[in-house]
Structure 1
Amino acid sequence: MITANDFFKAWCSVTKSREADLINHWRDFHPKYPYLIKGSDDSIVKMVADKLDLKVYDSDYYSIDSVFYIEDDRIEKDLTTGFFLRGLSIAFKHENEEPLSLRQEASHLLILNCELRVLVFYNDDGNQSGPEPELLALHELIRNSRSSEVISAEGSFLIIYGTRLYQNLVWKGYIYRLKDWEQFF
């Protein structure tokens, strides 16, 4: 099973290797930025999946931005309809534009049966105050869910917060715990 810490380390390693490209398109709402993260042949999520020895489908699987899975969970249908999955290792949501939709994205992750839920978001342009308001709202949302105790015990909800500091990318990881977020860098 892949832990939140495993995923975060892989994310940081991959984004570091692609830092120049990410900075060049950093949240400029250029159409290329989301495809750097998911949906292209050399996307960040594909590289993360390789590091974690998982497969990934990164083109919106049932409205989930990307799903990571093991090969045994893939079931072939036929040549025209592709495949479906009987299990998810990781459900991944990437919120590039609207911090207001974070609760909606987190809610979607909460209803999924998977080993790890990952939500990536960024600071508002010009807002250097950090993710605290969003984290408070997300913590309350998860705490009020039926699965909050299990998610806390398993460490199965990871928030990755990205910001740019001059010409460097800074990523912070937060694992949901009942009392507060467990933060790591």
Structure 2
Amino acid sequence: MDDPPERHTLVKLIEEAGWDDNGPVVSRTYLADASLWKQFIELWDPILQCTMDAAPDSAGFECIGDRLQVRIVDDEALGNKCPDDVAFAHRLCEDDDDSEEVGFLEPGLRTRMCLFVDQECMESVTAPRADALLFVKAVSVRLGTTRWPEQAFVSKVAIESLITEVYPALLLPEISVTELRPIMDGDA
């Protein structure tokens, strides 16, 4: 008798941890064009959904679908900020594990890199070139610190790999941040 197909790594992780609040956090840093942002968001959700829909039923995404979503941070304070500032803002949200204050990240939202969307990312989705990558950017949460400088970098992340490959890898401590670079498309 064949073994049952294995559930996706992300599904197993969320189920084992019992997290209710999961998903990557994406910050908007380009605020100058509201219509471009609106177009990006309208196209972004279907791209993400397609990647989960394309996974085999045995992956188990339907079991975590209501607990998994991308959190968008659309705050004027991040407007025109550089990757160092995005990483700093993310670190501020992670710093106090014991805080009851709103705004601190739940365990399923804490990752070693955070994501942001600038004008280049928005245009990759709203006006894609043939065979071009649709992407957001990932920044190591350690960027701008002297701690682990070898792991501090910014990289483009294919939206189609965000939920199924990148987000689970960012949660797993046994995968080094530098090992993630092959599933990302070069430096931003």
Q: State the TM-score bracket (shorter-chain normalisation).
A: 0.3 to 0.5
More strand by share: 1
TM-score by length of 2: 0.36
Higher relative CO (Cα under 8 Å, sequence separation at least 6) belongs to: 2
TM-score by length of 1: 0.37
More helix by share: 2
